[in-house]
Amino acid sequence: MNWEAKIITHKKEKRIAVYFEKNAVLITRIKKLEGSRWSQTLGVWHLPDTVENRERFHLVPLSHSLPSEEGVEQIQKFIKWLSSKRYSPSTIKTYSEALKSFLVFYREKAVAEITNEDVVTYNNDHILKNNLSESYQNQIVNAIKLFFTTIRETKIEIAKIHRPKCAKVLPNVLSKEEVKLILNAHSNIKHKTMLSLIYSCGLRRSELIHLKITDIDSNRNIVIIRQSKGKKDRIAPLSTKILEMLRQYYSIYKPKIWLFEGQNGMEQYSDHSLQSVLKQALVKAKISKPVTLHWLRHSYATHLLESGTDLRYIQELLGHNSSKTTEIYTHVSTKSIQQIKSPFDDL
């Protein structure tokens, strides 16, 4: 099968575009890769620009994509340490891949000889040179700091490893009218219920997919979100409208274990299918904004704040560790700003 891959910038983000003649087998394979998307405007499938994906599509020579034997051994030890500390599989994968990228860069150097100056050089000659994101650089820093705390013989001074100065980006928020259009776009009760539950409870995409039937407590009007980000359980209130919608959905689909099951039954609804449900709703609602499922969670938090809900309760409902994370919604709430009179009106 003939295909070609190259690094592109799409919507201000580095992506790996994969070009090939229409082929059902390749399309099926790419759909299964995490973060894969189809761009209608570019007419190409594209994926996140990660070390793993670069290796998968041969964008770097194989000899340049592997750390030294010592590096491989250290990564395995690091993975075992993270596992023993009960880090989630996704965090272990993220940290080990980030560390691998760093140790590949220094595959000719003994790990014990790596210094803080080497971290600075890596940031300049790899991260910045390849226009990799601030968030990716931050992942690398997290991995390096955590890894070197587990190494006894090292020249690295953990406290002196600096983080990138990240841009302060405001969350994207929809108006209540836009949310209503999206939630009412689908006539399919299953699709409508999934999107409505995300907004009405401020759920993350993965939290919705991992909900079980037993997590809905209709007697107390709550939903229990188990082992979400940071391995924390939390509860969120269920409105009577959502409960009625859930009962209607259940009577038709009768799921067995997961609240929302895939077409094969007994399996969780797929991440890709859930994103497709939103995309279809946007088309039907004639909303051209690049809305993601997380926009619904942001909108939930902002609308709660605008209706007078205390920030501390919003923090609990969203499952944020720090109040600083929740405080960002005060910068997108328009309730107070709309009351300010522009001096232009007095001219």
- Which residues participate in catalysis according to the annotation? 204, 229, 294, 297, 320, 329
Quote the tokens at residue 245.
């919608």
Distances 239 to 155, 225, 302 between C-alpha atoms, Å: 56, 16, 18
Output the CA torsion sign for 50, 51, 52, 57: positive
Nearest one of 143, 99, 140 to 123, comparing CA atoms: 140
Q: Which DSSP helix (H) or strand (E) runs through 44?
A: strand 44-48
* The pair of three-digit structure tokens given for residue 115, joined into one six-digit string: 């210094």
Give Cβ neighbours of residue 332 (< 8 Å, ≥ 6 apart).
170, 171, 173, 298, 302
Residues 225 and 215: beta-carbon distance below 8 Å: yes
Q: Which amino acid is at 68?
A: S
Q: Identify the burial level of 37 via C-beta atoms within 10 angstroms of its C-beta, where 0-12 means exposed, 13-18 middle and 19 or more buried.
A: middle
204 phi, psi to nearest 5 deg:
-80, 160
- Two tokens, residue 320: 């944020």
Kind and range of the H or E run holding 225: strand 222-228
Contact, 165 vs 217, CB < 8 A?
no
